[in-house]
Structure 1
Amino acid sequence: MVSFLGRQMAYATIGIAVLCLLFAATYQHQSQPHPTPRSNCQDPYNQPGYIYRGHTPTEIRWIPYEDEDLQGRQVELINELKPPAAKLAKAPPSFNQWIKDSGNLQDAPELDFARGKTVLSVGDSHDRRNVEGFCAQHKDSGAVLTSKGAHVATRCTLPGLNLTVGSWFHYGLAEQKEQWYGPHLTPAENNPPPFFVEERMGDVFEPDLAEIGKPDLIILQSIYWDLRYFPYHATHYGWTWELQRVTRPMTWNELAWHRARLTDYVRLFQKRFPDVPIMFRLGQERANNQGGGNVALYQMNESAKTLMNYLGIPIFPWAELLTGEEDYADVMHVKPLSQPTYLFADMVLYYLRKAVQGWEMTC
């Protein structure tokens, strides 16, 4: 009997020991970091990476990080400004350079994805500036700029490709019931009506659409005029002076209102263009942070990014790649012929190729 009990206790002890070893091994296995493999076929502009900025208006490239950059290998510091050629080769294609190098755009098969296509940015003067920049970058390739008014519509056409890069202007997302908003915009001669984006669709955008044709890619944006709208609203209703400040951080309630109107904005274009890929462009930083203006931009961008992810709208991350930009034409606009507009053009053509060849095409 004693021998039997002894054997039973020995077996139990061994069993407990085995279970402890298994638990320890499992815990150790689960606690060790196992990096998720990083695909080389993701959207590179929306991956973490390195922004290379040289001295000329064309020296700007985004290089996404790869697994080999994350292995903790020791490297020697060197007396060199440019990234290694092998790393630059991993950057998304510079379609701007393809255009410049083509010689004859009518016989450039590598650019056939852009032939006869239209990209449309819907937003404000920053989008117009990028269109102007596209034309400035490709003046020698025959680019032609056409404007119906700074606050109406602008487009750049590249005849050799029959490619159109255009912009439609609106005054932000004030609601149609707010009839005080339009007369508040001064000077009146620079701000032709209608003042609400829902009304501009039929009165302003549709006539231009008849000329440029159905877009193959739409990039929406509504940031800077909405930042201006909130203090206008507070002033109209006589609210506290802190809310009437033109440049200031946003409130929680204002961002909630903005997300609701952004949803209306996206749905408006989805309804009108049900089979056209739509992206959303974030707002770039101001030239300075006076009055907490860049805090407001950060707040609005984070709010918009979260909403667009919820709505399934891809982000056009141009603005985030320009963090620290200094070469401004004024307190908020970049220069037409500049690194920011060159990067915009490269990105527009990258996403156009995705839109044309299949939105899930990620390489």
Structure 2
Amino acid sequence: MIHFGINRTETRWVPFPKSPIPLAEGIEGGDGPGGGERELLLSEMELEEKVAEDVLERAGPPYLRWLVDGQLERLEFLRGRSIVLIGSSHDRNNVDQVCQETKGNYVSWGGHTGGVCTVPQLNLTIANWFRYGMVDTEQAFEDWRGKWESKPGVFANRVTEVFIPKMAEAGLLRKPDLVIMASLFWDDSFLGWNRGNANFTSVQQHGWTFQEMSWHRSRVHSTILSIRQHWGNDLPLMFRTRQLRKRDDHWSLLKIFQLDQSCRAVAKELDVKLFTWGGKLEGFSEYYDGDQHFSLGPSTYIFGDMLFFYLHRAITEGCWGCHQWDD
């Protein structure tokens, strides 16, 4: 389970140990393994807000807290490494929040363009590239968002015209050690715009149609291939899966779930690992805007711990293809 502590720094992924049922000792007439024992009643248990130390020894490493606390000797594997997140405002917020917690230096290229966080203690670089989903032509982008958003809109054009020049300016044109991509909420918006623009408003289907998801899978497939073409087929690549949104008008929850299923299908086909940050936050619904964005808090520490956990796997020889990848 995710243990949400009183303070955000206490947030941890904690396994359930294989242990006996809690017993009450010295109970007359008990029938437990010791003869004088029985199972504890809930009312008899002492509730503690902290997880027992022997359980924490088996928990996921608190990488972000170590970095915040300056325990750099535990984090030498991060030194000189670079990570690129290709996604949306969720990735931008996560990178920005990690940068705040670690007192790193975050340089924004513009809210809907991207930015770079540098953690000087370890010469660690985390870049976020902002994409407008799977929009397939510049004309479609112009008609859909061109009045409000920065151009170009198509991902391949943004790579060559925006991201690579920006990375060059920052002196970061090297192959990253880990890339995490995502594309969900902007796709939801683009599909909705297209349905109305193409006069498909009479469709009564719950959520998206199978044909719309076929288009989406095709675009996700092409995007993954283009990333690998740019950095090589051996690039450690992950797909960040969905988080639930708070509202559910017009099948909003169902549509995001369908898009997520589409992405997972392509990821499995192309051997792209899953970064399941959002799914681990279900039930923790403190948002910035009442819909989907998480503020600085426990979600930041889940993200940071997962980010560095998978980076550690990515740079450890023979580990990227190892077992235990299922969620």
Q: TM-score, normalised on structure 1?
A: 0.76
Q: Using the alignment, how far apart are the partners of 2:140 and 2:264 within structure 1?
A: 30
User: What SS is found at the alignment partner of 2:60?
Assistant: coil
User: What SS is found at the alignment partner of 1:195?
Assistant: coil
After superposition, the CA RMSD in angstroms is: 2.3
Q: Using the alignment, how far apart are the partners of 1:317 and 1:186 within structure 2?
A: 31
Distance change in 2, residues 1:339/1:243 (3 Å): farther
In the other structure, the counterpart of 2:294 is 334
In the other structure, the counterpart of 1:213 is 173
Q: Using the alignment, how far apart are the partners of 1:72 and 1:260 within structure 2?
A: 50
**Which residue identity lines up with residue 286 of structure 1 in the other structure?**
R
Q: Using the alignment, how far apart are the partners of 2:236 and 2:15 within structure 1?
A: 24
**Which residue identity lines up with residue 199 of structure 1 in the other structure?**
N
Deviation per residue, 1:111-144 (Å, 9 max, x gap)? 11111111110011111011111112212xxx11
Residue from 185, 188, 191 that aligns with 1:224: 185
In the other structure, the counterpart of 1:302 is 261
In the other structure, the counterpart of 2:95 is 131
Aligned pairs for 1:256-335 (under 5 A) are 256-274=214-232, 275-330=234-289, 331-335=291-295
Give the C-alpha shift of residue 72 in structure 1.
7.5
User: What SS is found at the alignment partner of 2:151?
Assistant: coil
In the other structure, the counterpart of 2:68 is 100
User: What SS is found at the alignment partner of 2:3?
Assistant: strand
Higher CA-based Rg: 1
**Which residue identity lines up with residue 143 of structure 2 in the other structure?**
P
Deviation per residue, 1:65-97 (Å, 9 max, x gap)? 45x26x888763323244433222211101112
In the other structure, the counterpart of 1:20 is none
Deviation per residue, 1:175-231 (Å, 9 max, x gap)? 12x61332321652xx11111011111111111232223211000101110011111
Q: Which has the higher contact order (CA 8 A, sep 6+)?
A: 1
Residue from 152, 166, 170 that aligns with 1:194: 152
**Which residue identity lines up with residue 163 of structure 1 in the other structure?**
L
In the other structure, the counterpart of 1:56 is 7
Q: Using the alignment, how far apart are the partners of 2:249 and 2:46 within structure 1?
A: 37
Q: Using the alignment, how far apart are the partners of 1:144 and 1:243 within structure 2?
A: 49
Aligned pairs for 1:21-40 (under 5 A) are none
Q: Is the 8 A contact 1:153 1:208 kept in 2?
A: no
Q: What is the aligned length?
A: 298
Deviation per residue, 1:44-82 (Å, 9 max, x gap)? xxxxxx12112322232112345x26x888763323244
Q: Is the 8 A contact 1:114 1:163 kept in 2?
A: yes
State whether structure 2 residue 310 is matched by structure 1 residue 351.
yes
Residue from 180, 187, 210 that aligns with 2:140: 180
**Which residue identity lines up with residue 284 of structure 2 in the other structure?**
E
Aligned pairs for 1:2-41 (under 5 A) are none
Q: TM-score, normalised on structure 2?
A: 0.84
Distance change in 2, residues 1:64/1:243 (3 Å): farther
Aligned pairs for 1:129-168 (under 5 A) are 129-139=93-103, 143-168=104-129
User: What SS is found at the alignment partner of 2:8?
Assistant: coil
State whether structure 2 residue 200 is matched by structure 1 residue 249.
no
State whether structure 2 residue 52 is matched by structure 1 residue 84.
yes
Q: Using the alignment, how far apart are the partners of 1:162 and 1:243 within structure 2?
A: 53
Q: Using the alignment, how far apart are the partners of 1:138 and 1:268 within structure 2?
A: 32
Q: Using the alignment, how far apart are the partners of 1:242 and 1:88 within structure 2?
A: 51
User: What SS is found at the alignment partner of 1:58?
Assistant: helix
More helix by share: 1
In the other structure, the counterpart of 2:83 is 119
User: What SS is found at the alignment partner of 1:109?
Assistant: helix
**Which residue identity lines up with residue 64 of structure 1 in the other structure?**
P
Q: Using the alignment, how far apart are the partners of 1:136 and 1:101 within structure 2?
A: 13
Q: Is the 8 A contact 1:259 1:303 kept in 2?
A: yes
